[in-house]
Structure 1
Amino acid sequence: MDRPMPPGWDHAPSATCAQVGEHALIRWITARLATAPSADLLVDVGDDAAVVVPRRNHVDVLTTDVLVDGVHFTRAFSDARDVGHRALHVNLSDVAAMGAEPRWALLSLGLPPDLEARWVAELIDGLVDAATALRVRLIGGNISRSPVLFADVTVSGAAKPRHVLRRSGARVGDELYVSGEVGAAAAGLAWLQWQATAGDAAAGSMHDDTIAAAVTRFRRPEARVALGIQVGRNKAASACMDTSDGLADALRQLATASGVGMRIEAGALPRAAGLASVAAATGADAETLAWSGGEDYELLFAVPRRSRRRFAHATTRKGLPPVTRIGVCTKDADVCIVDQEGRVQPVPGGFEHFGGRG
């Protein structure tokens, strides 16, 4: 199927970044970003730096994340628009986990000279479409020649000081909740990896809706922005963290930051529907995908029991993902799983750069 041309793209489809050149790429990006003036943006794209107006009585919440080809994505499994979408949403997820509303974004690109320039334009398309959907504005960035393709995004959000969520606020007795489903993105990646080597054997699984949903979740994750904002404003949660490196990793990090233990009910975990199908097709371990897979970008909350009703009021509003109680914070230092027979085992490790999965 022919790829649609990005709006206003007048270069040859096969032209490389070196052939198009830095200044022509920047001119196209600037034209693509042209939008109505904003009273909160004093200087837009085109100057040495953007100038924004702070929101009154709010603090700025800043985060940055980089996607590196071959580490965070591969062009064999994700197209350019997928990568642009993901590059923004991995940052939106961090801002959401702090209870803040995202406002501005910056983008830096490292581009190999022989990379198809149209691929870059499509990445910008995917990122701008994702930003527009959530009323985030891309206001600048940088382009550099690089031996490795990467996209580095910075997002700035705003929140009232008393609405900011942190990892360190959980206390003994607080209940633990997670949004959405766990393991979907990991299942999607596992299936794509298996499909790449299985050939005809993968054809029978192509039409499984649960697998298709898992692949979409991997390629285009959706940060829980509205949920994070709502819980932050509601002040019902004592702590929050996103699950970018897996639920197990988030549990351990939140427990360490708060100085508590955790007891998780294995049967309560909201596992993605595609886990069973992917495990059956590929031989992957469904439990590993659920606990350690990562890239779901769900939110993990700690909620005091006295705030349970207020938390339910905040999280059951129309359009928000479901939120499931999965356990409780304890005074013991261990972070453990209890199965339906009462057997206890440690929570497995999550993803760690330079260390793989623990």
Structure 2
Amino acid sequence: MMAAGLPGWDHDVSATCAQVGEHALIRWIASAVGSASSADVLLGIGDDAAVVVPRRNHVDVLTTDVQVDGVHFTRAFCGAADVGHRALHVNLSDVAAMGAQPRVALLSLGLPADLEARWVADLVTGLVTAARAARVQLVGGNISRAPMLFVDVTVSGAAKPRHLLRRSGARPGDELYVSGTVGAAAAGLAWLQSAIGRAGSPSRPSPQGAETDAAEPGDGRFGERALPSAIEAALTRYRRPEARVSLGLQVGRNKAASACIDTSDGLADALRQLAGASGVGVRVDAAAVPVDPAVTELALRTNEDRDALAWSGGEDYELLFAVPRRARRRFLHASGRKGLPPVTRIGMCTREADCLIVQADGRESPLPGGFEHFSSVDSVAGGRIPEAGA
């Protein structure tokens, strides 16, 4: 049976990567990307390497991140297009945290021989769609047979040197702001894990297409027909995060922040990383932290730890800023533009090296940790999927 609904894809829906072959996959990817002209790209897919035109008076900002099946995602929870979207946006978030404009991307795929080739095509479609929305051009990459599925993306961005944001610029007295809400992605993941635990592992879906290959909590397999809106939104935040590129650009161009980092491994981890790089301490007002409504909803319905999800839950890809008091108005003006996520003041940087949470009654406690690969204790709150097979 031929697969339908994917332009240019003329392989059987059940064909594996081994049956379709590397060269056929590469040809289809090249056709899916197309040859749209760009002032940034002199030569894209089709040669030994891409050729990118440097921007005058700008520096290149480079980042790479890998998404590994069973560690960063599982096919039981995410569709193929979700994985492609995620793989790009985790990199866009790093570029955003530097105050840079993303320009081009490279894609490398490690594919098991028995993986459905159509699943790969849907993954690429998700990534290319996300790239076009972000005005990023996919200019090349690599495909390899591998014992497990992984998706490795590299993104290059550009920024004027004076507009770059770093982790290391915060000073005592600077105020701390975070964009959006925290804990949403971890709550979405925890809900999926809890729901599958209640309903039993869903069967592997047929390879009809990535948009339907992930288990949905409202599809009957989890025993629920409808979900609270906060949980639905959290599932989207987990499956398809949105990097805060425009916010990072605005703050960088206005030189309104002394330091910035994204919250890929949780708010607490971001605070510790920024403090360590800048040589300062932090005091965070617990009551001020914008905890996502899904965190509270989940804690009411399950045994999940609200504080762990809020402080240590990763993969929100929000931005944490340190802002000098003299730049506060400039920062709020830059971050308050239409279409940007809200920012919330949550604390300040201190001369003392301690990283503390301050409760409403004045009680102080150390910041918890965030997700860390190879740590002795795996945690759902870290935003990763320990031993989650698909």
Residue type of the alignment partner of 2:11: H
Q: State the Cα distance separating 1:281 from its structure 2 match.
A: 1.7
Shift of 1:348: 0.4
State the 1:36 CA deviation.
2.2
Match of 2:315 among 295, 314, 327: 295
1:208 Cα shift? 0.8
Residue 263 (str. 1) matches residue 312 (str. 2): no
Secondary structure at the aligned position of 1:241 is classed as: strand
1:65-214 aligned within 5 A:
65-199=65-199, 203-204=223-224, 206-214=226-234
Residue 74 of structure 2: SS of its match in structure 1? coil
Q: C-alpha distance in 2, partners of 1:74/1:201?
A: 17
Q: Please report the TM-score for the alignment, with normalisation by the length of structure 2.
A: 0.89
1:326 aligns with 346
| CA deviation map 1:191-221 (0-9, x unaligned) | 0000101128954583211100001100000
The CA deviation string for residues 133-164 of structure 1, in whole angstroms up to 9 with x for no partner, is 01000000000000010000000000000000
Match of 2:14 in 1: 14
The structural deviation recorded for 1:301 is: 0.1
RMSD: 1.4
Contact 1:205/1:211 (8 A) holds in 2: no
The aligned residue for residue 280 of structure 1 is 300
Q: Aligned equivalents of 1:29 and 1:147: distance in 2? A: 22
Tell me if the contact between 1:205 and 1:281 (Cα under 8 Å) persists in the aligned partners. Answer: no
Please give the secondary structure, in 2, of the residue aligned with 1:105: strand
Q: Distance between the aligned counterparts of 2:93 and 2:126, measured in 1? A: 17
Deviation at 1:113?
0.2
For the residues of structure 2 that align with 1:169 and 1:39, how far apart are their CA atoms? 33
For the 8 Å contact 1:84–1:127, the answer to whether it is kept is yes
CA contact 2:40–2:103 (8 Å) conserved in 1: no
**Take 1:190 and 1:211, find their aligned partners in 2: how far apart are those partners?**
10
In 2, Cα distance between the equivalents of 1:350 and 1:243? 10
SS of the residue corresponding to residue 36 of structure 1 reads coil
TM superposition shift of 1:41: 1.4
Which residue is equivalent to 2:333? 313
Deviations 1:106-147 (A, max 9, x none): 000000000000000000000000000010000000000000
**C-alpha distance after superposition, 1:279-328 (max 9, x if no partner):** 12221011100000110000000000000000011000000000000000
Aligned-pair distance for 1:6? Answer: 2.3
Counterpart-to-counterpart distance in 2, 1:273 and 1:32: 38
1:238 matched residue in structure 2: 258
Separation of aligned partners in 2, 1:296 and 1:139: 27
Alignment match, 2:371? 351
**Per-residue deviation, residues 51-99 of structure 1 (Å, max 9, x unmatched):** 0100010000000000000111000000100000000000000000000
In structure 1, distance between residues paired with 2:9 and 2:119: 11
SS class of match (1:309): helix
CA contact (8 A) 1:180 1:298 kept: yes
Question: Which SS does the other structure have where 2:257 is aligned?
Answer: coil
Partner of 2:24: 24
Q: Offset at 1:343?
A: 0.4
Q: Which runs of 5+ in 1 are unaligned?
A: none
2:88 touches 2:153 (CA, 8 Å); kept in 1? yes
Amino acid at match of 1:123: L
Structure 2 counterpart of 1:220: 240
SS across alignment from 1:352: coil
Q: In the aligned structure 2, how far is the partner of 1:298 from the partner of 1:38?
A: 29
Give the gaps of 5 or more residues in structure 2.
200-219, 383-390
Q: Which amino acid aligns with 2:16?
A: T
Is the 1:167–1:254 contact (alpha carbons within 8 Å) kept by the matching residues of 2? yes
Distance across 2 between alignment mates of 1:205 and 1:197: 17
2:72 paired with 1:52: no
Q: With structure 1 as the length reference, what TM-score do the two structures score?
A: 0.97
SS at match of 1:296: coil
Q: Is the 8 A contact 1:263 1:329 kept in 2?
A: yes
Q: Which amino acid aligns with 1:228?
A: G
Aligned counterpart for 1:247 among listed residues 267, 271, 275: 267
Q: Tell me which amino acid in the other structure corresponds to 1:23.
A: H
Measure, in 2, the Cα distance between the counterparts of 1:113 and 1:291: 39
SS in 2 for 1:64: strand
- Say which SS state the counterpart of residue 295 (structure 1) adopts: coil
Amino acid at match of 1:252: R
Superposed CA deviations along residues 5-32 of structure 1, whole A, max 9, x for unmatched, are: 3221110011000000000000000000
